[in-house]
Structure 1
Amino acid sequence: MNAVVDERQRIQSALSFIPPDIERDTWVRIAMAIKSELGDDGFEIFDVWSSEGSTYKAAAARTTWKSVKSGGGVTIGTLYAIAKEYGYDPGQHKAPVIDSSEIERRRARREASASAETEKRQRAAKNAAAIATEIWSKAGNARDDHPYLMSKGLEAIGTLREIDVDKLAALIGYRPASLGKELGGRVLIAPVHIAGELSTVEMIDGAGRKAALSFGVKSGGCWIAAKPTKASKRILIGEGCATVLSAHRCTGDAAVAALSCGNLKKVAESIRKSFPDVPIVVLADIGNGQEKALQAAQAVGGAVALPDFGPDHLGDMTDFNDLHQLRGEEAVKRTIESATTVDMGAQHADLRSEVSGFPSLEERPCYRVYEGWQEIAGRKVKPGVYWHGTKAEKNDAPPVLIDKWISTPLHVLATTSNGEDAEYGRLLKIWSPAGRWKPWAVPMAAFAGDGSEVRSVLLSEGLVFDMNDKNAILRYITAQIPERRMRAASVTGWSGDAFVLPDAVIGADDIWFQASGRTAPYAVAGTFDEWRELAMLAVGNPLLMLAFSAALAGPLLGPLNVEGGGAHLYGDSSSGKTTALHAAVSVWGGPQFKRTWRATANGLEGAGSLHSDTLLALDELGEIDPKGLYEAAYALINGTGKTRANRHGEARQASRWRVFLLSTGELTISARMSAGGIESKAGQELRILDVPVQGKYGLFDDLHGRATGAALSDEVRNIAARHYGHAGPRFVEALVQAQREGMQLSDELRPILDDFGVEGQERRAARTFAICGLAGELAARWEIALWKPGVAIAAAHHAFNLWRRQRSGNGLGAEHAAILRAVSDFIDRHGSARFSNRDGSAEIIRDRAGWWEQDGDRRLYLFTSGALREATKGYDINRVVRALREAGAVLNLDDKGHPKTVWIADEKDSKRLYRITSTKLACD
């Protein structure tokens, strides 16, 4: 006789090991497992086992049994796996055997029962879909004054309708209810679609009570707030209607609602199948929804966004609609745009640990991360990173298992590096006390010392770790070598065609900002609309307009292949120079974004690298010593720091950056250098352009109705201190998009620059102002600022003309003017002491520079070649002679540019001397 084990008795044997008071989710899974094997015949076994529990209720057991489906993916194997966790051993606890023909008859009955139940469900679902279609056709357009929408701060859209509850009840044959309370009044209808077909509806009344249509199929279906397409920038998937409505309103992205956290994964998989190349962001609700959102994102390689309410977090604020109402559109948009991609594969399968115990002896040593409280061997184990090791015992005794808590949850997600196989690091994800994940890309170089800098940042980000073994967290991070690779950027600005900021990467999702130390205080506060009102105060005030434009010029430098640029606003105290700087820094951050010149040249190099491709704002030129200014003026605009040696004497890679510098002071750059006896070179004067603040009211020409310039200045400062950080990132977003659509910045710049109508060194200066003008014009075009077209370019021309009028040389080249000034200064200092009459003199001349001769009313100075080189130290002699000749200051050159000979009475000889008239050296 063929015989098999009696499956009913095997099930009963396994159940005897499982406590009936087990958590509800597992209890339901057991019901599903038994029903999958025995069909409805299994209820008696399930009910008898459940009745032994202290919380048993017969009605609950019957209702649960009816609600679970057979053939839903849970099999009898699930029951046996659970039983094994509680000590069941099928090898020891054998059940009686029965004839195989009997088990075959039972199986046939189960399959027939399951088939009948499936057919019944399908008929009910089809009928529910027909009712849903009728509801949709009979409902009217949803109105903005619906109480639920008003309570959520939202407006109605075309994919929502509403119907009176009495009319709705007549259509569906019952009054819909939620948790025992009937829906009332005007009921919103949100249609649920599966594969493009209407399957059911979600019903929401004014009080927020929600109900589903009986027998309607929602699994895998969603409500569409904004329809996804292949051209969508990204697709947002959230739980509820209000969540996705807020997310769509704040971002403009395609958005759908799964209508329950348990449905998120299926909806995400369906969306991914239809749109394989469009990024997906799953919007998590704080609480139970976090885990489901994470699983959904992980299943499709998407990202997870979690609302961050900060210190104001209240228990009833859980989703993005709550964040929208509390913090506004910008907070929602920024949170979604900084969502963390989850694409970790099997090596991060324990992201939401579903473990029944710590690792076995064979699995040790290892690290594990547990995100929730665990119950292991009858004790509660707190979440966090754990080290699971062993300790050898004496006399061949079994090793002792060590389970050491290291920190609160922290995952090492990826290995980071730059594009040149260097600057390696790790991308971390840190669980903060506020209940959100925070990413940080840490360079491995930061672990080279004692690791205190790494620990400091981790503590600042909210991580809690074992203070009795501070290095344990460092050992954990450095031991992880994830297979996933991502690019890292160590400075802000352009990385390929993406733009990196400390807290966001615009235009890419595979790059992270990885800084080994401090960063510039990029920050956001207030509202974008208020900042745009501030920017409107620049209309009619060209130097204020220049400041705003200069703040936006930094991102243009890279695409234009320009090393850097700068403008220096100078003028009397209280003329408004610093106010212009406050306005400019509001593009990227708050008042802390502004720096001062009070630093060494090395310190300013560091500041340059922190502000790469954005704005470096430096106040109070008088606070830097002239020598430091001389060194910094070249370095800041050239974008290269000094090459320094490492501890082995080898050259370290020099720091590099690219910034637009906006500076202020009471003196010009050259005047500040001259205070230390340092002659500025033309290159420095053309790198940082001196612009005098000479408006009707100092910085201002138009007070916009304010009583005084001081009043307007105070208002600009106050607004800039409250509303900042919005314009810069938005400008870059538009720039990235425009360039990907084919815009060539060089083509945009060329006509603006040509309109200045200058050549030579003046064209180089004009280019700096033209870039500012272009930045301001693009800001107007992209509605970052509400200026009219042309005003930013007009402000750039105004600034250029101010620079040109104050510039030495009346239009001559800066080097040309500097040479003439150097010769003139030399004559002023040494004309009596180191020169004598060429016709003879009784004076004793030490360190002779030449002679002089009288020519009518003017005195001509006869320079030796050595003296002329001394007077113009740093310039090539041929360049010096050319400048003198073009100015008409040298009178005795031959056709080859060499000085002619001059008879010197005292020497009784002829010498080749440069005959120079001081009257031609004036260039002011």
Structure 2
Amino acid sequence: MSTVFDDHQRILEALSYIPPDVERDVWFRVAASLKHSEGEAGFETFDQWSQGSPNYVAADVRDTWRSIRPDAGITIATLFAIAKKYGYNPRSKARTVVDPAEVERRRAERDARTEQEAQKRAQARKHAASLASAVIERAQPARDDHPYLMRKGVSAVDSLREMDAARLQKLIGYRPQSGGAHLEGRVLIAPVRVGSAVTTIEMIDEQGRKSALANGEKSGGCWFASRALDQCKRVLIAEGVATALSAHLCTGDAAVAALSASNLTKVAQTMRAVYPDAGITVLADLGNGQQKAVEAARSVGGAVALPTFGDKRGDDETDFNDMHTRFGSAAVAKQIRAAGKHGNADQLDRSAAEVSAVEGELEAHYELRQDGLYFVGVKVDRDSGKTLYVAPLWLCSSLEVLGSGRDSAGHQMRVLRWHRKGDLEEIRHAMPNADIGEREGWATMRSLGLSVAPGRAARERLAYYLQEEGGDVWHEITGMAGWQFGAFVLPSGEFVGEPSRPLVYNGGVPKKSAYLAAGTVENWKNTVGALARENRLVAAAIACAFAGPLLSIIGARDGIGLHFYTQTSSGKSTAGDCGASVWGDPRGVMHTWDGTSFALTRTAEYANDGLLYLDEIGAGDARKIGPGIYQMLNGVSRLQGTKSGGVVASRSWRLTLISTGEVSMAQYLAEGGQTPRGGQEIRLLDVPADIGAYRAFDTIHGRKDGDAFSVELTAAARANYGTAGRAFVEWLMSHRDEVESWVKATQDDMIGAVDTQYPDAAPTVKRATRKWAVLVSAAEMASEAELTGWTRDEARTWVMGAWARWLEAFGTKDRDQERLLEQVDGVLAANELSRFQEIYQDGGRSTCTGPILGYVRYDEGKRPTFDVLPSAFKNEVIAGFNERQACHALHKEGMLTKPKGHDGWTTYAGRLLGRVYRLNRRPVADEK
């Protein structure tokens, strides 16, 4: 039997040689050695040994033990090596012999413990990641007036959030603390990412106390102080959040916080793997973190930058944030950029002090401070000849230049960011280069909440800064909502999804607050969705709202509109509100028909790939509504000239539209003296709003009456809104490849049904049916995504029910041709006795009482035949219609006689009458 010794006894003997008040790094390695060897059972040994230190804190011992992984790579051999330094001799004492079988049993137990701990740790990390995501989702964007940020002299960024400590405690289930003190007040939340996944959060309270989420994975993870790292030329890696913020704000470069010196190397290696072409500069903290920064930079061939404070460095001045608050942003930027020129794999073998840049001559520069942007000039003292700084010149409130970009019209722009004075709303604005330094540019900046210095000298300095200083990231500039570079831009300016390129929305944001979400998707589904069940009109309105994002995906040539019409108090506006609630607050989303054609089309642009909601067509001018329908739903702006003689690039969009009114669109145009066109009628589809048992509703789900139901449904739509549309866009992003085939299959089914039931249906009917198929598909998809509370078959049935009612009202004939036939027959009937001269058999004629249209003859059965003069035929009888198309239609209907042997449509009626159009009244059904 082999001789095997009792390891536990050896551990206790070795531990007795190590003083418990060793340096913290050694103390930590002792703990890690014990945990690797004995698992959780080793805590009692570690705690008893640690109690011998005068600095013993029970909570610190416990927290450190919990943070250590049993398989972290520090074995019991490390403990013995440390003990030997303090005089331990493993051969000086007899060892206790243990049976090899016992040793094997202990090894198996240790392996089992290690595996069990790994599983527990993985589960705990998964739970921590879930908690972290929940905190981030519920936290508010961090504000510049947070006491910690103000004390550090930095402003908040997009990736930083905040939450009250009490609410945070309820959410994570415990009260976070640091050094035995609880975090209090407003707590900053910095999401920590390992790869692309959020694994934990760093929490910082008003006093600067820091704590990480219990059990969260932090190794190799970091907090990103800036977006769009894929476009950056350099990545700055700092230890802490404040240092990363200072570095980013001072240089405009991308910056991350590793959150501990020991994590710098892993973060640097991750950044190098993900961004192989970017330069990497590690920002060292003076003291213990200095060597760690050098090691991290060396591992990736990067550079090291150290802060410099001159001869009068304070004891608490150790990092670039301290340098920022003392010397300003220009000094920090200069130090970091100079260091970036030095560091490479060979030079990093020198000490960290040698890597930092040497201060140079005083130079004029810009400084971004908490209270604004300053220009710091220099002057030469006449007496001493020394170069001195002059008093800083305030230019404007705090402002960042993020980069440049160009819009669809080719205008070069600078991308700016600031926080509106008062409510601190973040403003991201793309300013045309042509406006920089001009009155219009200053006015725009002021109107968006930026304070600008009134003096000429300050404005000149600011204009130079806007053009030449700041970041150099290239942005795509869009003035359109909807699908843009893989993301979906809401009319509020918010993005759903991450764009494939840095993107700035520079379009107008009318009624921005109306497009902010209220409630949750579940709330909307359980109220609006539930009450809309089995109600065809409401389901159609909701489908119309969901259909907006599909149009670009399927390559639709124009938009889709539904016009709900009937007398007042039918519930049509309630249906419209339900559709509008998919995207926002119906009261704010709703616009009016009462506007110019230009205003209507500009409003349509804001609803690109979404829904435009227009109430009460009767409020508009029929002369403007007719062209407006074409422009809004054709999706192309009018051509406009420029002052220089050029042409403004036309804009295009696609949208769905819901309109309401007391009469149909066609009737309203006709009453206003406008002739409705088939093209208008298949763009804005007239849907009767009295199709159900309760006017607009088929069922009221047990409510007292239709009015009570309408009130409840309207209230639900106005309390829960803006969530379903966002969720639907997210669903489409992962199902985009299915959309086109899904819609085409539905269109084929519905067109097949029309061909079967109405084989002679006009092309316009089929074209409109294809539009209805898009609405049916949208309702099916939203239901498939579990957003409506309906099944896919239910959604299809209810929206197709609304289509069937539209088809019944619209008919299956060519509407333009029907209007032509009705018009011609009506002109003949109305003027037969007053404006047509009757030709008697003896050649005599009757007298007209009005301007003559032509001549009439009667056969033996007293049936008239009209010979219409060519000018009267074109200008009155077929007014508003194409002559060739009208003649073909009239001939097909049996109303126009085409002479034999003659290519034209006129008949020779003799020398006195000349050539005329020979017409008959429209045959009635029996005559046909």
Which residue of the partner structure matches residue 726 of structure 1?
723
State which of 467, 489, 510 in structure 2 corresponds to 1:500: 489
State which of 774, 783, 790 in structure 2 corresponds to 1:780: 783
Distance verdict in 2 for CA 1:540–1:456, change over 3 Å: farther
State which of 28, 36, 39 in structure 2 corresponds to 1:134: 39
- Residue 509 of structure 1: CA displacement? 5.1
- Residue 735 of structure 1: CA displacement? 0.7
For residues 479-532 of structure 1, the C-alpha deviation after alignment (integer angstroms, 9 at most, x for no partner) is: 436321121211101224432221114242524343254445321122222111
Which residue of the partner structure matches residue 523 of structure 1?
516
State which of 711, 731, 738 in structure 1 corresponds to 2:708: 711
Contact 1:192 1:222 in 2 (8 A): no
Which residue of the partner structure matches residue 184 of structure 2?
none
TM-score norm. by structure 2 comes to: 0.64
- Residue 665 of structure 1: CA displacement? 0.5
For residues 786-825 of structure 1, the C-alpha deviation after alignment (integer angstroms, 9 at most, x for no partner) is: 1111222223322222222222xx4211221122133234
State which of 544, 563, 567 in structure 2 corresponds to 1:568: 563
- Residue 428 of structure 1: CA displacement? 2.1
For residues 16-63 of structure 1, the C-alpha deviation after alignment (integer angstroms, 9 at most, x for no partner) is: xxxxxxxxxxxxxxxxxxxxxxxxxxxxxxxxxxxxxxxxxxxxxxx9
Q: For residues 861 and 353 of structure 1, what CA distance do their matches in structure 2 show?
A: 98
Which residue of the partner structure matches residue 491 of structure 1?
480
Which residue of the partner structure matches residue 503 of structure 2?
512
For residues 590-610 of structure 1, the C-alpha deviation after alignment (integer angstroms, 9 at most, x for no partner) is: 120111111111110111111
Q: For residues 506 and 904 of structure 2, what CA distance do their matches in structure 1 show?
A: 57
Which residue of the partner structure matches residue 327 of structure 2?
357
Distance verdict in 2 for CA 1:909–1:517, change over 3 Å: closer
State which of 855, 868, 872 in structure 2 corresponds to 1:867: 872
The answer to whether the aligner puts 1:645 opposite 2:651 as a matched pair is: no
The answer to whether the aligner puts 1:388 opposite 2:376 as a matched pair is: yes
Alignment of 1:574-723 (within 5 A): 574-590=569-585, 591-694=587-690, 695-723=692-720
Q: Which amino acid in 2 is paired with 1:795?
A: W
Q: Which amino acid in 2 is paired with 1:493?
A: G
Distance verdict in 2 for CA 1:196–1:820, change over 3 Å: farther
Distance verdict in 2 for CA 1:407–1:767, change over 3 Å: same
SS of equivalent to 1:913: strand
Distance verdict in 2 for CA 1:690–1:893, change over 3 Å: farther
Contact 2:893 2:922 in 1 (8 A): no
Q: For residues 192 and 896 of structure 1, what CA distance do their matches in structure 2 show?
A: 101
Distance verdict in 2 for CA 1:439–1:836, change over 3 Å: same
Q: For residues 499 and 731 of structure 1, what CA distance do their matches in structure 2 show?
A: 11
- Residue 547 of structure 1: CA displacement? 0.6
Q: Which runs of 5+ in 2 are unaligned?
A: 1-18, 77-121, 138-158, 174-188, 205-209, 232-239, 258-277, 284-304, 308-319, 332-359, 756-760
Q: Which amino acid in 2 is paired with 1:637?
A: L
- Residue 705 of structure 1: CA displacement? 1.6
Which residue of the partner structure matches residue 550 of structure 2?
556
The answer to whether the aligner puts 1:367 opposite 2:337 as a matched pair is: no
Distance verdict in 2 for CA 1:436–1:517, change over 3 Å: closer
Which residue of the partner structure matches residue 798 of structure 1?
801
Which residue of the partner structure matches residue 224 of structure 1?
125
Which residue of the partner structure matches residue 852 of structure 2?
848
- Residue 627 of structure 1: CA displacement? 0.5
Contact 1:769 1:800 in 2 (8 A): yes
Which residue of the partner structure matches residue 426 of structure 1?
415
- Give aligned pairs, total: 690
Q: For residues 446 and 493 of structure 1, what CA distance do their matches in structure 2 show?
A: 27
Alignment of 1:320-339 (within 5 A): none
Distance verdict in 2 for CA 1:289–1:557, change over 3 Å: same
Q: Which amino acid in 2 is paired with 1:732?
A: V
- Residue 476 of structure 1: CA displacement? 3.9
Which residue of the partner structure matches residue 739 of structure 1?
736
Contact 2:750 2:770 in 1 (8 A): yes
- Residue 838 of structure 1: CA displacement? 3.0
Distance verdict in 2 for CA 1:552–1:413, change over 3 Å: same
Distance verdict in 2 for CA 1:698–1:910, change over 3 Å: same
Distance verdict in 2 for CA 1:728–1:489, change over 3 Å: same
SS of equivalent to 2:852: coil
Distance verdict in 2 for CA 1:507–1:746, change over 3 Å: farther
SS of equivalent to 2:716: helix
Alignment of 1:191-340 (within 5 A): 224-225=125-126, 254-257=197-200, 267=218, 269=220, 289=241
State which of 749, 762, 767 in structure 2 corresponds to 1:764: 767
SS of equivalent to 1:616: strand
Which residue of the partner structure matches residue 835 of structure 2?
834
Distance verdict in 2 for CA 1:192–1:260, change over 3 Å: farther
Q: For residues 464 and 507 of structure 2, what CA distance do their matches in structure 1 show?
A: 18
Distance verdict in 2 for CA 1:599–1:263, change over 3 Å: same
- Residue 130 of structure 1: CA displacement? 1.8
State which of 441, 445, 457 in structure 2 corresponds to 1:455: 445
Q: For residues 362 and 700 of structure 1, what CA distance do their matches in structure 2 show?
A: 79
Contact 1:368 1:388 in 2 (8 A): yes
Contact 1:247 1:255 in 2 (8 A): no
State which of 471, 476, 479 in structure 2 corresponds to 1:482: 471
Contact 1:489 1:511 in 2 (8 A): no
Q: For residues 779 and 630 of structure 1, what CA distance do their matches in structure 2 show?
A: 32
State which of 516, 534, 537 in structure 2 corresponds to 1:540: 534
Q: For residues 839 and 815 of structure 2, what CA distance do their matches in structure 1 show?
A: 33
- Residue 852 of structure 1: CA displacement? 1.9
- Residue 552 of structure 1: CA displacement? 1.0
Distance verdict in 2 for CA 1:392–1:565, change over 3 Å: farther
RMSD of Structure 2 on Structure 1 (CA): 5.1
Contact 1:366 1:389 in 2 (8 A): yes
The answer to whether the aligner puts 1:880 opposite 2:886 as a matched pair is: yes
Contact 2:496 2:726 in 1 (8 A): no
